[in-house]
Structure 1
Amino acid sequence: MTNTEIAAQDHAEGLKQDARKAGARVGLTSDEIIINGGRPLTGRIEVRGAKNLATKAMVAALLGQTPSVLRNVPNISDVRVVAGLLALHGVLITRGEDPGEWRLDPSNVERAHHADIDAHAGSSRIPILFCGPLLHRLGEAFIPDLGGCRIGDRPIDFHLDALRKFGAIVEKLPSGISLSAPNGLTGANIELPYPSVGATEQVLLTSVLAEGQTELRNAAIEPEIIDLICILQKMGAIITVEPNRVIFIEGVKELRGYDHAAIFDRNEAASWAAAALATKGDVFVGGAQQEEMMTFLNVFRKVGGDFDVHDDGIRFWHPGGALKPVTIETDVHPGFMTDWQQPLVVALTQAEGVSTIHETVYENRFGFTDALNEMGANIVVYKDGLADEARRVKRREFEQAAVITGPTPLTGSDIEVPDLRGGFSHLIAALTASGQTKVTNLGIISRGYENFIEKLRLLGADFVFEG
């Protein structure tokens, strides 16, 4: 066996292990499902708090001197990972009477063994956001080898460079990265080379207790970032959001706990909307809000989908007739989210004409299209991107493009889930296709989609568990 074959085998086994662990954390009884497709999804489901806010808000609780209460927390694997890491560091976590309510008491924060952090973190990248809070509380932090979804390199240089500017000492070890702050942390002037969500969160979580003022330029301004700022302000932080992606943070001596309901998960809401469109269905997504989804709603309408906005959610449906091709450029907020393109691609395989998606945020995010092509789709991926004079988003290094020609009927196949968003897209394809589709590595989807199996039942999907 060649080194390449060994690496591929290790990668596949790693995916299976990730899926089993993720599914087990939320009680998923099987890692394989057989879907009988071709039936419209109809009914109502609810979305709770955003994965990209809830996990970061849990980390923020480390900064408080009193307990925090986080409500609307989704029952997903990534939340369980963060809860385990917090418990390793001495945070007492209890569940409230209301579903989705967590109480986090950081009164007895303590050091954790590197091996335990590594074991509990698994493939999650969340440990890197523990650095600022732990440097403030303990004077040291540790980052194990980072995993996460295999959608391309996500270098942590932005994080490490920012932490160094605050005064952290970074040491690379065989097992990961060790950080220390023997002289404490001080405010810094930081300009991100790219408005990275993770790096912006890192700066916010580190700067609020750093001595002096921090100026962050080219910051991410996603709704989840603003919600995190709201949480930190509730805790006693002084944060000013200026125009042109500039954020000022005045360090304070002490923070208290918070009481906060997490913003809804707009990624999950868009995924169910795309599923309704692809299957010619009608799905009411309870908890979804218009303001945070305006960019997605515009594209959904251009493709030919329809929606109604209600106080308690948004109804998405296929109104009949042919779907229309579109050109999409993914971008940071307020642009079209990279996490939205994958589920929408499935619907675009049913549009009449040629659609183009320019992926400018992550490289290698079109790997999931291989399975769609095996099911009958006509998708060509251009690994170096495509030139387009009409583009609004500046071309970026490593960007790719996908050209989808439709409509193409999809037929059942065997699919192995590669990552979180691509995995849900595979579910949508299986629900759209005629015949049976076997989906494996199902547990990876539970990292970001709460109770998705029960929601499929509620929407009338026809499936059985395998194994």
Structure 2
Amino acid sequence: MDRIRIVGGNKLNGTIPISGAKNAALPLMIASLLTEETLILDNVPRLADVAQVQRILGNHGIDIMSAGKRPGDHEYQGQTLHISAANIIDTTAPYELVSTMRASFWVIAPLLARMGEAKVSLPGGCAIGTRPVDLLIMALEKLGAEIQIDGGYVIAKAPKGLIGAEIDFPKVTVSGTHVALMAATLAKGTTVITNAACEPEIVDVADCLNKMGAKITGAGTSRIVIEGVAKLHGARHTVLPDRIETGTYAMAVAMTGGDVQLAGARPELLQSALDVLTQAGATITPNNEGIRVTRNGAGIRPVTVSTAPFPGFPTDLQAQLMALMACAKGSSHITETIFENRFMHVQELARFGARIHLDGETATIEGISKLRGAPVMATDLRASVSLVIAGLAAEGETMVNRIYHLDRGFERLEEKLSACGATIERISG
């Protein structure tokens, strides 16, 4: 099992290229099931989760061609995928493929919309709370699907096709919004989604679906309207930059000090997180190439933050912020409002000497002047990278174990950081 070894104490200086967003690439790949023509996706990150969706699509009979680097390409440019779902040979997504990642469950929407049936295993993925699929099922039932759960599988049927409907989510759900959006594109009539998620990745998927011939308005607001169409066609779309990766590296620079250009980053995708970093003492400068992050000399100041759906502070940056606040001058408070069980990194950060007290969904962090390197274990995707950030700033050596979580969401993490002066290496085996 691979591990990452870090010797802390180096400032970060240089350029880090930002990859395509995992949380947009996965639903965009799944949306290819909606058309028999080829969907071409550019700037797709090379991640374990992307490879897993490729396996799931392959199981349905989908042809995927990956175009690698060509002369003149940047080293970190994402891959280009040509996805052709001309012949869907199987509408079942089995447990062994779906169990490792929650997003794979979303294939239920395009399969049902285009083929009139789907049998999809209940999902697995990160162990952060229950994250049930009841809202996704509710959305499909509103669109006229007949659904039963049998032996751990969700069996959905709509032999006469889906029918447009009003879908009012009782709470904001990114998964539910993705599923409702994809299913409604081929439904007969108009669908209105209220209390929809407003995340940039939802907008990116809607933009791509519109290029494919869908009629979607209002993506990025809490009310999305979809006029169903008879069929979709092929298109070409570039995946937007990853705002969570952007925020993660910005926090690493704030933690270690230094001066880093985040190439290709778009500040409007994570303004609330950048505002928090500014409060904490980093200097954030958007420019034509992306975002420049610096912290030279100034100490880290404590902040009080609650996670919230977009445009609020992202839950996916909560663990990274907690690592940063471990070295702030004073007490910080972080409240997690999106997922229960999302403080599993606390006990691992404590191994660095961090002083963190939990009370319900609020963590109080008493900053200390210096963290100490330690052997630690990754628990989920975002928590694992918070341990890397802590290790970059800690005295001595840190060994991060179980890093397969990192490979799910961060492309070439150790290469990007070592290019900016970090002492970090992957140890195989």
TM-score range, shorter chain: over 0.9
| Equivalent residue number for residue 141 of structure 1 | 118
Match of 1:187 in 2: 164
TM-score (normalised: structure 1): 0.87
| Equivalent of residue 152 in structure 1, options 106, 129, 150 | 129
Q: Is the 8 A contact 2:348 2:376 kept in 1?
A: yes
How many Å separate the matches in 1 of 2:104 and 2:47?
Answer: 17
Distance 1:412 1:174, change over 3 A: same
Aligned 8 A contact 2:202 2:219 in 1: no
The residue number in structure 1 matching 2:186 is: 209
Counterpart CA distance in 1 for 2:220 and 2:334 is: 29
The aligned residue for residue 380 of structure 1 is: 357
| CA contact 1:278–1:432 (8 Å) conserved in 2 | yes
Q: 1:88, 1:112 within 8 Å by CA — same for their partners in 2?
A: no
Q: Give the Cα–Cα distance (whole angstroms) in 2 for the partners of residues 238 and 279 of structure 1.
A: 46
Aligned length: 420
Residues 279-288 or 84-93, more deviating = 279-288
**Is structure 2 residue 22 aligned with structure 1 residue 51?**
yes
Letter of the aligned partner of 1:262 in structure 2?
A: V
Matched, 1:422 2:383: yes
Structure 1 residue runs of 5 or longer lacking an equivalent are: 1-29, 384-399
SS of structure 2 residue aligned to 1:68: strand
CA offsets 1:86-107 (integer angstroms, 9 cap, x no match): 1111111112255511101111
Deviations 1:132-191 (A, max 9, x none): 110123222122231111111101110011111112122212242222222321111110
1:249 maps to amino acid: I
Pairwise CA distance, 1:466: 5.5
Cα distance in 2 for residues equivalent to 1:110 and 1:175: 22
Residue 344 (structure 1) aligns with = 321
Q: Aligned AA for 1:76?
A: L
Q: 1:54-113: CA deviations, max 9, x gaps? A: 111111111123111000100011111111111111111112255511101111112155
- Does the CA-based 8 Å contact 2:357-2:364 persist in structure 1? yes
Q: Match of 1:435? A: 396
Equivalent-residue separation in structure 2 for 1:381 and 1:59 (angstroms)? 38
How big is each residue's C-alpha offset from its partner over 1:296-337, in whole Å with a ceiling of 9 and x where there is no partner? 111111110012212121111212122111111111111111
Which stretch has the larger CA shift, 235-244 or 416-425? 235-244
261-270 or 367-376: which moved more? 367-376
Paired position in structure 2 for 1:60: 31
SS at match of 2:79: coil
Shift of 1:33: 2.2
What are the residue-to-residue correspondences of 1:126-275 with 2, within 5 Å?
126-241=103-218, 245-275=222-252
Offset of 1:37 from its aligned partner? 1.4
Matched, 1:368 2:345: yes
Cα offset, 1:218, TM superposition: 0.3
**Preserved contact between residue 92 and residue 120 of structure 2 (Cα < 8 Å):** no
1:402 Cα deviation from its structure 2 partner: 0.8
Structure 2 segments unaligned to the other structure (5+ residues) = 70-77
Q: In terms of mean alpha carbon deviation, does 210-219 or 131-140 score higher?
A: 131-140
SS at match of 1:39: coil
Provide the C-alpha distance between the structure 2 equivalents of 1:59 and 1:459, rounded to a whole number of angstroms.
35
Q: Which residue of 2 aligns with 1:22?
A: none
CA distance in 2, matches of 1:236, 1:420: 34
Aligned to 1:94: 65
Distance in 2 between the 1:450 and 1:246 partners? 33
Task: Quote the RMSD (CA, aligned, Å).
Answer: 1.6
